[in-house]
Chains A and B, each alone.
Chain A
C-alpha cells in the first residue's frame, strides 16, 4: 500500500534527464539561429565589401566613359561594358524566352507521358550543366575557326536561361485553373486559341518573373562568354557579330591583374553588376511572393 501511495505522488519538478533534454533542445535551437545569422552575415559582408571598395570610383564619367588602355593611370570608364552586356543578354533573352515558353507549353499542354520524360530530363540536365562546358561547346561550335563574336556569347547565355524560363513557365502553367482551360474548350475554342487567349494571358506574370530571374542570372554569368566574346573587344561595339566587351569577363580580367588600379576598376564594375543583379532578383522575388499569395487565396 505504501508503495502505491508513493507512486501516486508525482514529482512535478524536472529531473536531471528532463533538464538535459531541454538543454540539448536549447543548444540545437541556438545553432539553427546562429547558422541563419552566419548566412545573412556572409551576404552583408560580401555586399558591403563590394559597395565600400567600388563606390569611390563610381561617377557619371566612369559609367559612360571608354575603357582605359591597359596599364594606363587614367581610370577610364565602363560604358562599352554596360552596352555590351545589355546587347549580349538582350539577344540571349530574345532566344531563350520564346524557346523556354514553347518547351514548357509542350510539356504541360501537349506531350504524352512517354515524350514528357526524356524532354523533362533534358531540361533538368541542362539546368545542371556546368557553365564551363557550355563555354567550350560554344567555342568549338561557333568561335573556333572564326573570330570572337557577341552572338556566340548570347547563345551560351541562352543555354543557361532556357531551362530556368521553362521551369518557371511550367510552374505557372500548372497554376492555371483547369476550369478556365476546360471552359474555353467547352465554348468551342480550339487548342491554340485556348493557349493564346486564355492560358498564356493567365500565366503572363509568372513567365515575366521567371524571365527577370533568368536575366539576372545571365547578366552575371562569366564562363559562357569567356571564350566567346570580350577578351579582344576594347571599344564600344554595337554589332553583335563582333567581339563585345562585357562586364563579367572584364571583372574577371581585372581581378587577375597585378595592378591595384585594375582591382579598383573591378570593384566598381562589380558594384554596378551586383546592384543590377540584386535589384532584378529582389523585384522578381517580391512579385513572385505577391502573386503566390494572391493565387493561394
Chain B
C-alpha cells in the first residue's frame, strides 16, 4: 500500500526532470547551431570591417591595381588575383584528368583488395599536412623542377610565353604542381562515390549491347555524373584558391604579373602569410584584410555554387531511383 504514493511521487519527479531535460537538450543543441551560423556571419563581418580602411582609400579599383608600396601608401590586388587564378588553374588542369582516371580505376576496374588499398592510400595523400607538403615542395620538388622539368618544358614549348625564361626552383608553376597534389584526392574521392552511384542496370545494359568497358564508361558513367564531376572540380578549386601555407613556401614571393610560369609570384593567401606578421602601417594591414575579403567572397561563392550543384544532383538522383 505504501508503494503507491511513492510511485506517483517518482513519476512526478521524473516528469519534471524529463521536462527540464528535454528543454535543456533542445536549448543546447539549438544554441550550438545558431552559434555556428552566427560565427560564419561574424567571420565575414570582422574581415570586411578590418578591410574598411583600405576599401575607403582605394574603393573597387584596388582590384585593378598592381601596386604594393608601403611608403607611398598604394596597394592593389591584381598580382595576387593573377597568381591565385593561374596556380589554381594549373592545379585543376593537372588534377582533374588524373583524379577522374583514379576514380574510374577505383570504381570500375580494381579488384576489391586494390579498391580498399589504393582508395585508402589516395585518402592518406589528403591527410598529409600542407606545411609538410610545402617543405617537400621547396626542398625536393623545387630543385627537380628547376633542373629537369622546366628546362624540358622550355626546350619543347619555349615558343609559348608561359614556358620561356630562366628555370627557377620556386614559382607559380611549382605552386600549381603542389596544389594539384592536394586537389587530386578531393576530386578523386568525390568522383569515386559518384561513379559507384551510377545505377548498375545502366552500366550492364551498355555492356549487354556490346559496348567495351571504355565505351560504357564514356557513354554511361561519365555522362550521367557530369554535374557531380563539375561540383567536385569546383570543390577542388575552392581548396586550391584558399591554400596559403604550402603556396607561400613554394611560390617564391613577388607582387608582379610574370609572363613566365617559372617566375615567382604570389597568391592572395600567400601574400597574407608573408606580410601579416610584419605589417608596418594600418593601411597595409587593412589592405591585407582587403585581400582576405576578396578571398572570402571567392571562397564562399565557389562553395555555394558547388553545394547548389550537389544538392540539385542529389534531388535528381533520388528522384530518378
- Chain B residues closer than 8 Å to A22, beta-carbon distance: 212
Whether B36 pairs with A122 at a CB distance below 8 angstroms is yes
- Chain B residues closer than 8 Å to A270, beta-carbon distance: 129, 131-132, 135
Q: Is the interface of B mostly helix, strand, loop or mixed?
A: helix
- Chain B residues closer than 8 Å to A53, beta-carbon distance: 139
Interface membership of A172, Cβ < 8 A: no
Tell me, rounded to whole Å, the shortest Cβ–Cβ distance linking A33 to chain B. 6
* Of B106, B245, B292, B296, the contact of A252 (CB 8 Å cutoff): B245
Which chain B residue shows the least CB distance to A254?
Answer: B135
Q: How far is the CA of A139 from the CA of B124 in the complex (A)?
A: 31
Whether B33 pairs with A136 at a CB distance below 8 angstroms is no
User: Interface segment, B55-63, B97-105, B146-154?
Assistant: B97-105
- Chain A residues closer than 8 Å to B214, beta-carbon distance: 24-25, 28-29
* Of B24, B29, B46, B181, the contact of A106 (CB 8 Å cutoff): B29
Which chain A residue shows the least CB distance to B101?
Answer: A35
Whether B127 pairs with A277 at a CB distance below 8 angstroms is yes
Q: What 1/0 mask marks residues of chain B from 96 to 132 whose CB sits below 8 Å from any chain A CB?
A: 0111011011101110001010101111110111111
Which chain B residue shows the least CB distance to A102?
Answer: B32
- Chain B residues closer than 8 Å to A134, beta-carbon distance: 43
* Of A47, A123, A267, the contact of B36 (CB 8 Å cutoff): A123
Q: How far is the CA of A132 from the CA of B127 in the complex (A)?
A: 18
Whether A140 pairs with B25 at a CB distance below 8 angstroms is no
Whether B30 pairs with A33 at a CB distance below 8 angstroms is no
Whether B25 pairs with A192 at a CB distance below 8 angstroms is yes
Whether A278 pairs with B46 at a CB distance below 8 angstroms is no
Interface membership of B188, Cβ < 8 A: yes
Q: How far is the CA of A46 from the CA of B302 in the complex (A)?
A: 29
Whether B37 pairs with A136 at a CB distance below 8 angstroms is no
Interface set, chain B 135-187, CB cutoff 8 A to A: 135-136, 138-140, 181, 184-185
User: Interface segment, B2-10, B65-73, B268-276, B312-320?
Assistant: B268-276
Whether B135 pairs with A267 at a CB distance below 8 angstroms is yes
* Of B97, B128, B304, the contact of A125 (CB 8 Å cutoff): B304
* Of B29, B129, B295, the contact of A219 (CB 8 Å cutoff): B129
Tell me, rounded to whole Å, the shortest Cβ–Cβ distance linking B123 to chain A. 7
Interface membership of B309, Cβ < 8 A: no
User: Interface segment, A63-71, A75-83, A223-231?
Assistant: A223-231
Interface set, chain B 25-45, CB cutoff 8 A to A: 25-26, 28-37, 39-40, 42-43
Q: How far is the CA of A256 from the CA of B278 in the complex (A)?
A: 15
Q: How far is the CA of A135 from the CA of B245 in the complex (A)?
A: 11
Q: How far is the CA of A121 from the CA of B40 in the complex (A)?
A: 10
Whether B135 pairs with A133 at a CB distance below 8 angstroms is no
Tell me, rounded to whole Å, the shortest Cβ–Cβ distance linking B179 to chain A. 13
Whether B135 pairs with A266 at a CB distance below 8 angstroms is yes
Whether A251 pairs with B25 at a CB distance below 8 angstroms is no
Tell me, rounded to whole Å, the shortest Cβ–Cβ distance linking A148 to chain B. 10
B interface residues, how many (CB within 8 angstroms): 90
Q: How far is the CA of A159 from the CA of B42 in the complex (A)?
A: 12
Whether A103 pairs with B36 at a CB distance below 8 angstroms is yes
A interface residues, how many (CB within 8 angstroms): 91
Tell me, rounded to whole Å, the shortest Cβ–Cβ distance linking A285 to chain B. 6
Which chain B residue shows the least CB distance to A219?
Answer: B129
Whether B43 pairs with A40 at a CB distance below 8 angstroms is no
- Chain B residues closer than 8 Å to A109, beta-carbon distance: 29
Whether B125 pairs with A119 at a CB distance below 8 angstroms is no
Q: How far is the CA of A129 from the CA of B128 in the complex (A)?
A: 19
Contacts A131-B244, A132-B244, A270-B132 given; indicate if A99 touches B105 (C-beta within 8 A). no
Tell me, rounded to whole Å, the shortest Cβ–Cβ distance linking A190 to chain B. 4
Interface membership of B225, Cβ < 8 A: no
Tell me, rounded to whole Å, the shortest Cβ–Cβ distance linking B194 to chain A. 15
- Chain A residues closer than 8 Å to B124, beta-carbon distance: 43, 278, 281-282
Q: How far is the CA of A236 from the CA of B321 in the complex (A)?
A: 59
Q: What 1/0 mask marks residues of chain B from 294 to 311 whose CB sits below 8 Å from any chain A CB?
A: 011001101110110000
Whether A252 pairs with B25 at a CB distance below 8 angstroms is no
Q: How far is the CA of A46 from the CA of B182 in the complex (A)?
A: 12
Contacts A33-B105, A122-B36 given; indicate if A110 touches B132 (C-beta within 8 A). no
- Known A-B contacts: A193-B18, A220-B130. Give 14 more (CB < 8 A): A21-B212, A29-B214, A36-B102, A46-B181, A102-B28, A125-B300, A133-B292, A133-B296, A133-B299, A222-B129, A255-B135, A270-B129, A270-B131, A273-B132
10 A-B contact pairs sorted by A residue (CB < 8 Å): A32-B102, A35-B97, A36-B101, A36-B106, A50-B135, A53-B139, A106-B32, A128-B238, A193-B21, A227-B276
